[in-house]
Amino acid sequence: MTYMKHWTNQSIMSKSLFSKEIASADEESSLAMTLNSSVVVVSNEAISKKIEIASADEESSLAMTLNSSVVVARNEAIYKKIEIASADEESSLAMTLNSSVVVARNEAISKKIEIALADEKSSLAIADKRLSFRGTMQFKYESFGILNFHFNQTSIVPRIVITILCLFLSINLIAQTQNTDNFYKKPLVDVLKEIQTRYKVQIKYAEPQVKDKLVNYANWRFRADVDETLANVLTPLDMKVNKEKPGVYKLKEYEYYRWEVQDGWAYLDTLATKYHDQASWEKRKAEIKPELYQALLLSPLPAKPNSQPIVTSKRTFDGYSVENIALEILPGVWINGSLYKPLNLKGKIPVVLSPDGHWEKQRYRPDCQIRCATIARIGAMAFSYDLFAWGESMLQFKYEDHRRSLAQTVQTLGGIRILDYFSSLKETDTSRIGISGSSGAGSHSILMTAMDERIKLSAPVVAMSSYFYGGCPCESGMPIHQCGGGTDNVELAAMAAPRPQLLVSDGGDWTAHTPQHDFPYLQKMYGYYGVKDKVENVHLPEEKHDFGINKRIALYDFLIKNFKLNGAAVKDKDGKYDEGKVTIEKENALYVFGDKGEKLPKNAIMGFENLEKLFISSTNRK
């Protein structure tokens, strides 16, 4: 279809897509304008425009002469060139502009045009006089055919003409993609800006998050509610926003492991309909447990290497000793840690596995040493160990390997091998084996307890949640949460029943709502066995995500109570815990393989690619 509008009986066709001729004015006019050069550049990158017009000529007051002018407009697949012809010096009508600045900025499709006019004495001043303006416009639209404008109109104020020109340009640049042929496509960055303007909200994002991302049917996704609009726009891109406070959002990649609180609670309630007493729950456990091994590719378990642990020399401190141990869990693959033992051992004593979470300085940090040394001083062994590609394990693997799905499998196998080792020691009381880790190591503690009955007590710290599945592949990289037709970390934690379990939660992370829903669920599950008091929750609503002093005290109290340990050995005369007698060692003192890894065995597997090959061969998988 072609639309034609005639504004004159004279038309001039130009080879350019858009051209216009402007007649020059009376040379004797006191305000005739001279433009020796003019450059107008319209650039649409993030839909912005800038038009600059420079004017000069000392001899003629303001006589307008356009020697050459090029306007280039670029909008993705649309390219237009605008040529402005030089003016007729003999024309009796000249456009008078003392200075002119036109600025067109489109951020949320807005425009600003400023035109300064001068010299009221001029017989051709633009404010009152008549103008002859001749030109031809030609726009080509793929969907609309050819649109021609021919005009030779008097008494048209140039301000209106320029405004119309800018509107035509803007509409043309935007309209090219706003149709069904192009899926009404818009850059994500522009859509987010429009959302911020329309709903008066702030959306925080980094440039790499939005770069090169496009939204199909962008404006069709808008709704009256900003949250629904954001969901409509971002969900197809596997993105979301976290609401930091009213009116402020932060753009995030889609987090499969993080649900809305109510969604997590509803799902846990659905799981709970599968059982109603001890017998039905035991049947559910029997369904889930073997599938956990299968999901982790540990059914059957790979053969255990026939090697002895690597043990460093012992350091003795006030009431405890420390020695570093490496266990070979696959040929050439070690799990490393430090064993804290009470001095003057008599008889069999408990052991508490203490996996390290995603904390800076790993197991070498002071609070980890303090916790494990204190456990030793009250009468139990504490084994502080690295998760896969974490701590000293990084002698063999890179940090990014920790965030590979197989990491969950390898560190679970490591936990099993640690249980094998300590269960074999003559000083270990196998009826008192516990595990306590925080954050990602808390998730590891929950999983290990669900999978291995040798663990008799568990204490996941700032970890368990029905609406958070662990933000690292070492926690949810393998399909453990698809076992039994679907499960979550709270149901996995329930598999510890009737064994004693402590949940430590706080107000600053995904455990903030533990007392409201998840803990009552666990109490009900323990109630099936008549031991509702065997599961406890210490909630610290004013604290954040860490393994600080109050969280450690909760753990000490729980261990002393359930493993019958000597709390008096670490308390002052006022009955308060005294951690001041613990010696903080330098990091390299806790290494198994030397300061620079020089003691790493020659058969050590190096690199994740070689580990994958080894794992496949060790588990007879193709």
Q: Using one digit for the tens of pLDDT, what is the confidence trace for 267-295?
A: 999 999 999 999 999 999 999 999 999 99
Whether residue 259 is contained in a domain is answered as no
Q: Cα Rg for the chain, rounded, in angstroms?
A: 37
Neighbours of 616 (CB within 10 A): 12
Q: What is the spatial distance between Cα 610 and Cα 613, in angstroms, rounded to a whole number? A: 5
Say whether pLDDT at 619 is over 50: yes
Helix axes 226-234, 188-199, angle to 10 degrees: 180
> Please, which pLDDT band fits residue 346 given cuts at 50, 70 and 90?
confident
374 and 517 housed in the same domain: yes
| Domain carrying residue 242 | 186-253
Whether residue 48 is contained in a domain is answered as yes
210 and 167 housed in the same domain: no
The pLDDT value recorded for residue 45 is 42
In the listed set 224, 253, 282, which residue is the last one of a domain according to the structure? Answer: 253
> Please, which pLDDT band fits residue 167 given cuts at 50, 70 and 90?
low
Whether residue 125 is contained in a domain is answered as yes
Whether residue 215 is contained in a domain is answered as yes
Of 117 and 303, the structure prediction assigns the larger pLDDT to 303
In the listed set 114, 143, 175, which residue is the last one of a domain according to the structure? Answer: 175
247 and 307 housed in the same domain: no
492 and 595 housed in the same domain: yes
Least confident range of 2-6, 268-272, 504-508: 2-6
Residues 6+ apart with CB under 8 A from 245: none
137 and 274 housed in the same domain: no
Of 498 and 621, the structure prediction assigns the larger pLDDT to 498
The pLDDT value recorded for residue 358 is 84
CA neighbor of 415 nearest in space, from 394, 439, 434, 400: 434
> Please, which pLDDT band fits residue 470 given cuts at 50, 70 and 90?
confident
Q: What is the mean pLDDT of residues 190-194?
A: 96
Helix axes 549-563, 366-377, angle to 10 degrees: 20
Neighbours of 95 (CB within 10 A): 25
The pLDDT value recorded for residue 175 is 58
> Please, which pLDDT band fits residue 302 given cuts at 50, 70 and 90?
very high
Q: For the chain, how many structural domains are there in total? A: 3
191 and 305 housed in the same domain: no
249 and 284 housed in the same domain: no
Q: Using one digit for the tens of pLDDT, what is the confidence trace for 98-118?
A: 333 333 334 433 444 343 334
Whether residue 261 is contained in a domain is answered as no
Q: Using one digit for the tens of pLDDT, what is the confidence trace for 369-426?
A: 999 999 999 999 999 999 999 999 999 999 999 999 999 999 999 999 999 999 999 9
Q: What is the mean pLDDT of residues 151-177?
A: 57
- Residue 608 is part of a domain; what is its CATH number? 3.40.50.1820
Q: What is the spatial distance between Cα 587 and Cα 212, in angstroms, rounded to a whole number? A: 44
pLDDT, the chain, mean: 80
233 and 331 housed in the same domain: no
Say whether pLDDT at 137 is over 60: no
The pLDDT value recorded for residue 87 is 39
Of 9 and 620, the structure prediction assigns the larger pLDDT to 620
Whether residue 356 is contained in a domain is answered as yes
The pLDDT value recorded for residue 359 is 82
CA neighbor of 414 nearest in space, from 298, 493, 311: 298
Structure tokens at 95: 């456009």
Residues 6+ apart with CB under 8 A from 597: 395
288 and 370 housed in the same domain: yes
409 and 277 housed in the same domain: yes
> Please, which pLDDT band fits residue 159 given cuts at 50, 70 and 90?
low
Of 258 and 43, the structure prediction assigns the larger pLDDT to 258
The pLDDT value recorded for residue 622 is 59
438: DSSP letter: B
High-pLDDT (> 70) share of the chain, %: 71
Whether residue 262 is contained in a domain is answered as no
High-pLDDT (> 90) share of the chain, %: 66
42 and 169 housed in the same domain: yes
171 and 205 housed in the same domain: no
> Please, which pLDDT band fits residue 186 given cuts at 50, 70 and 90?
very high
- Residue 243 is part of a domain; what is its CATH number? 3.55.50
Q: Using one digit for the tens of pLDDT, what is the confidence trace for 509-562?
A: 999 999 999 999 999 999 999 999 999 999 999 999 999 999 999 999 999 999
Of 260 and 173, the structure prediction assigns the larger pLDDT to 260
Q: What is the spatial distance between Cα 213 and Cα 483, in angstroms, rounded to a whole number? A: 35
The pLDDT value recorded for residue 432 is 98
Least confident range of 65-74, 152-161, 464-473: 65-74
In the listed set 195, 218, 253, which residue is the last one of a domain according to the structure? Answer: 253
Highest mean pLDDT (candidates 54-68, 171-185, 594-608): 594-608
553 phi/psi in degrees, rounded to 5: -60, -40
Q: Using one digit for the tens of pLDDT, what is the confidence trace for 29-80?
A: 333 333 333 333 333 443 344 434 333 443 443 333 333 333 333 344 333 4
Whether residue 204 is contained in a domain is answered as yes
289 phi/psi in degrees, rounded to 5: -55, -50
